[in-house]
């Protein structure tokens, strides 16, 4: 049949009328249909479960399990400029028994080739904070005596000395940058600033650098991805307001009395923090295994966190005369399983 096809086409072409030829020409030169308009709006959301919620090297869940989730509408003004807002939540275990951490955030993400920037603000809201035995220090406090929540001895012998505000909510502004040197290597830098970290009255600045190595897409079978990443950061902290000041003359567990040298506020200790981990990805799922640590001592950690599980009498520092100590700022292993989705991932 093929040998008769070409002569037949030639014959038909020879007897085509001028009008038919003109119509045929129009059909050939007409462009393809316009592509469907792509919406500039997008949506991202995700959930996670982890054995420990660690924030800048300090546990927020008393080294216990935590669940988290977020919801983030986005607007892509162009392929290189995105605006976003979001709400997130994590389960926590704070000394004031706050119900949860609820985060409200928003910002803009411009990109310039391999360089991606992110500028925004983040509000950490801790609803449901409670006051225990507030008669001694007013209506906005909690006492922790030797790790026993809300208990104050009739005399101050053995008084733990930990107090914390009912409301710890605060905000930060931030600037972040990541640069993809290649498909395998990504470097980043982050800076955060708060005028009153954890509503303590102390300003806080956090600066960190990150590095991530991503395995080639064909390194593992069945579409499984693999990466190794790490971060090194430094948290600077100012002086708290007088609520956390060390009052002179209070008996302390280790003997003697407090000096009151910081009656107007505690100059919190700055500290370094770092983490390193590995992770596997598959479709929208990620399993991340990570080691985290800081160089903050147990005593200075207690002064900063007012941990409800603090104990002991030997962790004395200039800002922690009671000797209580906590492991909240120590080493931790974190296993996190998460799912992150966008509208595109559902197509």
Of residues 91 and 4, more confidence is placed in 91
Taking residues 278-304, report their average pLDDT: 97
Taking residues 308-330, report their average pLDDT: 91
What is the predicted pLDDT for the residue at 224?
98
What is the predicted pLDDT for the residue at 261?
74
pLDDT at 345 over 80: no
Taking residues 326-334, report their average pLDDT: 97
Phi then psi for residue 290, to 5 deg, are -145, 145
Over the stretch 292-311, which tens digit does the pLDDT of each residue have?
A: 999 999 999 999 999 988 98
Tally the residues of the chain. 347
- For the domain spanning 41-346, the CATH number is 2.40.160.40
What is the predicted pLDDT for the residue at 1?
47
Strands 58-59 and 66-78 come out as unpaired
pLDDT at 156 over 50: no
CA distance 237 to 304: 10
Of residues 226 and 265, more confidence is placed in 226
What is the predicted pLDDT for the residue at 242?
85
Predicted TM-score of the model (pTM): 0.83
Over the stretch 30-78, which tens digit does the pLDDT of each residue have?
A: 566 666 677 899 999 999 999 999 999 999 999 999 999 999 999 999 9
pLDDT at 89 over 50: yes
What is the predicted pLDDT for the residue at 25?
44
Report which DSSP code applies to 320: B
What is the predicted pLDDT for the residue at 145?
43
Q: Is 75 exposed, middle or buried (0-12, 13-18, 19+ CB in 10 A)?
A: middle
pLDDT at 250 over 80: no
Of residues 82 and 256, more confidence is placed in 82
Give residue limits of the domains in the chain. Answer: 41-346
Contact 301, 272 (CB under 8 A): no
What is the predicted pLDDT for the residue at 201?
95
Strands (E), the chain: 41-50, 54-55, 58-59, 66-78, 81-90, 101-112, 115-125, 143-145, 148-149, 162-163, 170-180, 185-194, 204-214, 225-237, 271-282, 285-294, 332-342
Model confidence at 6, pLDDT cuts 50, 70, 90, reads very low
What is the predicted pLDDT for the residue at 166?
86
- Count of H-run helices and E-run strands, the chain: 3, 17
pLDDT at 21 over 50: no
């Amino acid at each position: 049949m093929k040998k008769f096809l070409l002569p037949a086409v030639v014959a038909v072409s020879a007897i085509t009328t001028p009008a038919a030829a003109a119509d045929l020409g129009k059909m050939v030169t007409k462009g393809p249909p316009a592509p469907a308009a792509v919406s500039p709006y997008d949506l991202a959301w995700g959930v996670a479960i982890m054995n420990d919620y660690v924030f800048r090297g300090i546990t927020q869940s008393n080294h216990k399990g935590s669940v988290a989730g977020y919801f983030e509408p986005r607007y892509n003004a162009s392929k290189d400029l995105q605006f976003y807002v979001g709400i997130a939540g994590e389960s926590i275990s704070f000394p004031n028994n706050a119900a949860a951490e609820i985060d409200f955030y928003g910002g803009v993400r411009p990109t310039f080739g391999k360089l991606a920037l992110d500028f925004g603000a983040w509000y950490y809201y801790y609803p449901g904070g409670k006051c225990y035995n507030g008669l001694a220090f007013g209506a906005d406090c909690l006492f922790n005596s030797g790790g026993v929540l809300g208990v104050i001895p009739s005399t101050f012998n053995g008084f733990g000395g930990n107090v914390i505000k009912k409301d710890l909510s605060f905000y930060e502004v931030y600037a972040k940058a990541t640069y993809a040197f290649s498909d395998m290597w990504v470097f980043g830098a982050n800076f955060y600033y708060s005028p009153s970290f954890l509503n303590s009255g102390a300003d806080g600045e956090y600066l960190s650098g990150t590095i991530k190595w991503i395995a080639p897409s064909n390194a593992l079978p069945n579409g499984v991805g693999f990466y190794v990443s790490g971060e090194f950061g430094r948290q600077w902290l100012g002086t708290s307001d007088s609520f956390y000041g060390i009052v002179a003359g209070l008996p302390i567990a280790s003997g003697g009395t407090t000096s009151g040298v910081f009656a107007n506020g505690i100059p919190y200790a700055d500290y370094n923090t770092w983490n390193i981990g590995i992770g596997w990805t598959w479709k929208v799922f990620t399993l991340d295994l990570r080691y985290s640590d800081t160089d903050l001592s147990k005593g200075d950690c207690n002064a900063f966190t007012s941990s409800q599980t603090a104990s002991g009498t030997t962790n004395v520092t200039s800002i922690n005369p009671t000797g209580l100590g906590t492991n909240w700022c120590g080493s931790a292993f974190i296993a996190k399983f998460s799912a992150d989705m966008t509208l595109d991932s559902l197509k």
